[in-house]
């Protein structure tokens, strides 16, 4: 298998032709035939027969070795003025892996990562997983109590973080019995209680000067545990989805398969291509960025252009300078690029694909990417429990079905089940979406009850309500779980409601999602104050802001004179409450 096997459609467009030129079934059969890049094999995964990619690297260590061997001189990470090639990155991974072993970290130990997107993030992730330890990416937007919970629940013995996260965690060290060691990337000054990561493996700009050595020889198999990515549960406490090397790597061929399928559907032969260049904006602590995007980059020798924080003008400057071919992340970013008044000042013609996930996109956005930006819109569906991608949707398929999230990958299956979970619904009928495949997590970390309720014989009950059409395209129609997805970030309403209830003046509260043109939706709160109590919107929002990450703070608060309306079972009638807010 070689990098030249990967084909991506370029920005040039041919004259319109009859579409589709090939059915989904025929395209899949052709791409997955014996001897092809996307050939599959059926194996036992935790006792369940599953289709897997035959050409997928078996472990994350194998992926790192492959990338360094095939693409040593390719640029891998661009961050501000730092440019790191695959060979230099691999030297840093090997150096940090050796340091972890010397620090007493071994197979099955949990090591947390809490930092914004920095070149050190991919180094830490692969160093941890290459020695058989479990990487625990923590949400860098979390505040103190949230980070404390993640570190305590995971049992992390070592934390690799940036200075901002260190300042949050350090006062909590006394509550974290398992956390022995903290390494800090890019500290501005020596830190008591932590060691500088630069002092262990050198600064990122000098990775190429590190010794040329292999990763430690640690035996591993594809179904060894590798990651714990945290997602929120309806209880309000985050749950850790336990991933394996196999589940983490299943996405590495998803983007290439989607591109090849689009070419065949268009009546073209997937062309050989250069590695893709991605503007990596969404945080790597999300499975979308880590599993779906970064693993695809490693598989093809692509380049990740990182930004310290999102800024539309800086993004356009980077797109022009680096000839970025893939941008997006979440629909919000696509909207801001399309509608920015200075867009005409920058050359954005290198963009071949505007890819995003994490939140539904308006059909108008899909159309504008295709017609105005002259790029291929690309999306799909997945969740933390599925290690990212289950369905993919791109190009003409997406333009013609902008309300769908696409058909499942060949290695995956989806079905629509009745509420009791016993009967599969007919084509076109709405029910709960279940997903199956090698990318499904093993279960929830240290939560056997939730695992038993959610993961069943290789299937995961998603909590999303959906339907499937007669060609296999999936349509998410509602969410059974009570969440708001704000620009790709999941906000579980009960967590925000619990913060509101903790306010001494609040006796009833509800959080709902209200439409927002670029973010998809944002959280808004309705509260009822107890007799004799007073509070205004600013006081309520300040109260929540000190307890939760900024993206979870409601954008508006409405005050109800009476307790909130409920049904016979005591459940708040949120559909009635949404009418109190005007869409933005």
pLDDT, residue 8, reads 36
pLDDT, residue 236, reads 62
CATH number for region 3-42+246-479: 3.40.50.12780
pLDDT, residue 254, reads 95
Q: How far is CA 269 from the centre of its chain?
A: 30
Tell me the C-alpha to C-alpha distance, in Å, between residue 16 and each of 13, 349, 354: 8, 20, 21
The secondary structure of 363-388 as a DSSP string is HHHHHHHHHTS-SEEEEEEEEGGGTE
Same fold, 3-42+246-479 and 483-578: no
pLDDT, residue 567, reads 59
CATH number for region 483-578: 3.30.300.30
**CA–CA dist 120, 123 (Å, integer):** 5
pLDDT, residue 497, reads 86
Rounded to 10 degrees, what is the CA torsion of 423, 429, 431, 437?
80
User: 264-275 burial string, b = 16+ CB within 10 Å, else e?
Assistant: bbbeeebeebbb
Break the chain into its structural domains and give their ranges.
3-42+246-479, 87-220, 483-578
Closest CA to 217 of 26, 340, 65: 65
57 three-state secondary structure: coil
What are the two backbone dihedrals, phi and then psi, of residue 214, each rounded to the nearest 5 degrees? -85, 170
pLDDT, residue 565, reads 87
Q: What is the pTM of this model?
A: 0.86
Q: Are 408 and 414 in contact (CB under 8 A)?
A: yes
Kindly indicate whether the domain formed by 87-220 is annotated with CATH number 2.40.110.10: no
Chunked mean pLDDT (size 10), the chain, 584 residues: 40 61 96 96 97 98 98 98 98 98 98 98 98 97 94 98 97 96 97 96 98 97 98 71 98 95 94 86 94 96 94 96 92 85 94 82 84 92 95 94 94 94 93 97 96 96 92 85 82 83 87 88 92 91 93 94 72 81 62
**CA–CA dist 123, 67 (Å, integer):** 13
């Amino acid at each position: 298998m070689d990098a030249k096997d990967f084909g991506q459609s370029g920005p040039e467009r041919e004259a319109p032709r009859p579409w589709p030129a090939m059915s989904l079934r025929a395209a899949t059969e052709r791409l997955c035939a014996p001897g092809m890049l996307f050939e599959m094999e059926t194996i036992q995964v935790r006792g369940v027969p599953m289709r897997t990619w035959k050409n997928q690297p078996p472990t994350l260590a194998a992926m790192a070795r492959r990338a360094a061997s095939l693409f040593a001189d390719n640029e891998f990470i661009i961050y501000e003025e730092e440019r790191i090639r695959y060979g230099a990155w691999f030297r840093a991974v090997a150096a940090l892996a050796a340091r972890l072993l010397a620090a007493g970290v071994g197979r099955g130990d949990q090591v947390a990562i809490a930092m914004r997107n920095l070149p050190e993030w991919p180094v830490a992730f692969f160093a941890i997983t290459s020695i058989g330890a479990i990487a625990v990416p923590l949400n860098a937007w979390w505040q103190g109590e949230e980070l404390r919970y993640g570190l305590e629940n995971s049992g992390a013995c070592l934390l690799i973080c940036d200075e901002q996260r260190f300042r949050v965690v350090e006062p909590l060290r006394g509550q974290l019995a398992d956390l022995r060691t903290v390494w800090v990337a890019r500290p501005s000054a020596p830190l008591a209680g932590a060691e500088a990561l630069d002092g262990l493996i050198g600064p990122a700009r000098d990775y190429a000067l590190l010794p040329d050595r292999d990763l430690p020889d640690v035996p591993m198999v594809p179904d060894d545990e590798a990651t714990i990515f945290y997602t929120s549960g309806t209880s309000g406490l985050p749950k850790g989805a336990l991933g394996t090397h196999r589940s983490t790597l299943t996405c590495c061929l998803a983007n290439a398969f989607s591109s090849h399928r689009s070419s065949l559907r268009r009546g073209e032969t997937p062309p050989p291509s250069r590695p893709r260049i991605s503007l990596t904006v969404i945080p790597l602590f999300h499975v979308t960025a880590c599993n779906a995007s970064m693993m695809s980059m490693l598989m093809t020798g692509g380049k990740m252009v990182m930004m310290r924080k999102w800024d539309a003008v800086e993004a356009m400057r980077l797109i022009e300078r680096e000839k970025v071919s893939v941008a997006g992340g979440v629909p919000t970013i696509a909207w801001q690029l399309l509608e920015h008044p200075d867009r005409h000042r920058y050359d954005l013609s290198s963009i071949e694909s505007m890819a995003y996930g994490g939140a539904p996109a308006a059909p108008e956005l899909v159309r504008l990417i295709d017609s105005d930006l002259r790029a291929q819109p690309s999306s799909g569906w997945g969740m933390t429990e599925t290690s990212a991608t289950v369905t993919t949707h791109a190009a003409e398929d997406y333009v013609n079905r902008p309300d769908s999230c696409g058909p499942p990958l060949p290695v995956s299956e989806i079905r629509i089940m009745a509420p009791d979970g016993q009967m599969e619904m007919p084509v076109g009928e709405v029910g709960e979406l279940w997903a199956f495949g090698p990318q499904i997590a093993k279960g929830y970390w240290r939560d056997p009850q939730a695992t038993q309720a959610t993961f069943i014989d290789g299937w995961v009950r998603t909590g999303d309500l959906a339907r499937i059409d007669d060609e296999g395209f999936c349509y998410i129609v509602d969410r059974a779980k009570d969440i708001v997805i704000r620009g790709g970030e999941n906000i579980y309403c009960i967590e925000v409601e619990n913060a509101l209830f903790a306010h001494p003046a609040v006796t009833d509260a509800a959080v709902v999602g209200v439409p927002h043109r670029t973010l998809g939706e944002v959280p808004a709160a309705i509260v009822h104050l107890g007799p004799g109590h007073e509070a205004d919107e600013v006081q309520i929002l300040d109260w929540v802001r000190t307890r939760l990450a900024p993206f979870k703070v409601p954008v508006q608060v409405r005050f109800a004179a009476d307790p909130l309306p409920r049904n016979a079972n005591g459940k708040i009638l949120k559909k009635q409450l949404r009418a109190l807010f005007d869409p933005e």
